[in-house]
Structure 1
Amino acid sequence: MEQDLIKRVQAITNAGKLYYDYNEEIDLARDYSFKICRQYNDLVQHQNEYHYELLAGLFAHLGKNVRIEANFLTEFGFNLSVGDNVTILQDVSLIDCTFVTIGNNVVIGPHCGIYTANHAEDPKLRANHYCYERPIVIEDDVVIGGGSVIAPGVKIGAGSIVQAGSVVVKDLPANSFCLGDPCQAIRKLRED
């Protein structure tokens, strides 16, 4: 995808303001990402081949020693930064309409959803496909259990564990064991 198109789409989606989600250039960027994800997933599922060069060309950054399993989906890719030693298991949907930063040594379990998108609160605007975005940060050494949902604007502190099935709607502190809907820090894993 050409850099000028990426910059134009980012100027719309990354501003934190309401925008029309079916803008022609946004659709082009989304379709391109979906095409690359389909190619990548097809190779994993049918040939057991992990062609990370496809994703590296799509992502803002793709670290070393990364494993991404089948049925992975990212909305754009160019807002997604993935650190080193990251494992993303099957069926993860990552809606990166603004920045998503995943640190080093992170594990994301199967069937997780990571969503930067908020739909317009006004029903008329919502019906006309307006939305706005909030960035997500997952710091180093985090584990996110299977089936968890990470909501827009959330930061998960370094070294934390998010128990399977959790719904993270607010920031979580570092070095914490977290669970629930809404997800809360239950206890410290170690003293800082």
Structure 2
Amino acid sequence: MTNMTEKEKMLAGKAYKAFGEELMRERQHAKEVVFEYNALRPTEIEKRNTILRGFLGKMGKNFFIEPPFRCDYGYNILLGENFYSNYNFTVLDCNTVTIGDHVLIGPNVSIFTAGHPVHHELRKADHEFALPITIGNSVWIGGGSIINPGVTIGDHSIIGSGSVVTKDIPANVIAVGNPCKVLREITVEDKERFFEKY
């Protein structure tokens, strides 16, 4: 059995070291691409979209990512159709981030697949890990929210502004807080109102 590379360990959710030559080179490439993307003028939308189409792992035909945008690798980000993110969208995509169709991301949202060991000796030895994140269809993530490693958010759910999501959130709910918890289910009555006070 051959030894796994650090990249293979990273993508398999195993402990890995991020500062080897291969991963460093890929992160530096991503920084260059993202720098170019963020430096374009506001009217240069098609140039921005062309950059993302050649950079991200998958995307639908219709998408809009407001600059500035940040990520680690790019190729681990898989976007569905009709995706929108507001300013300062940050994705530490050391593992796969799968986002469904019709997803709205508020400003200053951070998605972190990457984490560090609990024990300090493992952290000092430069170990880290990365777990995939899945966001379902028609999800809205409110501004300032943080999505932590390994989390799945079910279809049609809303994550309230400023939430820290540390555990899975089911479909069709409003969830808020730190740590993020289900507030209530979304019902047919919600078609009659536009606003929910948390």
Same fold (TM over 0.5): yes
Amino acid at match of 1:85: N
Alignment of 1:35 with 2:28, yes or no, is: no
- Conserved 8 A contact 2:38-2:67: yes
In 2: Cα distance, 1:96 partner to 1:59 partner? 10
Q: Which residue of 151, 158, 162 corresponds with 1:161?
A: 158
C-alpha deviation, 1:122, in angstroms: 2.6
Structure 1 residues 33-67: Cα deviation after superposition (integer angstroms, max 9, x where no partner): 11111111111xx3431221211111110112100
Q: Which runs of 4+ in 1 moved over 3 A?
A: none
Alignment of 1:183 with 2:175, yes or no, is: no
Tell me the equivalent position of 2:145. 148
List runs of 5+ in structure 1 lacking aligned partners.
Answer: 1-7
List runs of 5+ in structure 2 lacking aligned partners.
Answer: 189-198
Q: Normalising by structure 1, what TM-score? A: 0.91
In 2: Cα distance, 1:10 partner to 1:21 partner? 8
Query: Which has the higher Rg, Structure 1 or Structure 2?
Result: 2
Alignment of 1:49 with 2:32, yes or no, is: no
- Conserved 8 A contact 1:148-1:166: yes
Tell me the equivalent position of 1:14. 11
Higher mean Cα deviation, 116-125 or 22-31? Answer: 116-125
In 2: Cα distance, 1:109 partner to 1:85 partner? 15
Alignment of 1:65 with 2:88, yes or no, is: no
Higher mean Cα deviation, 79-88 or 51-60? Answer: 51-60
Relative to structure 1, is the Cα distance of residues 58 and 127 closer, same or farther in structure 2, using a 3 angstrom cutoff? same
C-alpha deviation, 1:15, in angstroms: 1.3
- Conserved 8 A contact 1:10-1:98: no
Alignment of 1:114 with 2:114, yes or no, is: no
Tell me the equivalent position of 1:3. none
RMSD: 1.5
- Conserved 8 A contact 2:86-2:105: yes
Amino acid at match of 2:64: R
Tell me the equivalent position of 2:130. 133
C-alpha deviation, 1:119, in angstroms: 0.6
How many residue pairs align between the two structures?
183
- Report the identity percentage: 38
- Conserved 8 A contact 2:95-2:132: yes
In 1: Cα distance, 2:43 partner to 2:107 partner? 18
C-alpha deviation, 1:74, in angstroms: 1.1
Q: Normalising by structure 2, what TM-score? A: 0.88
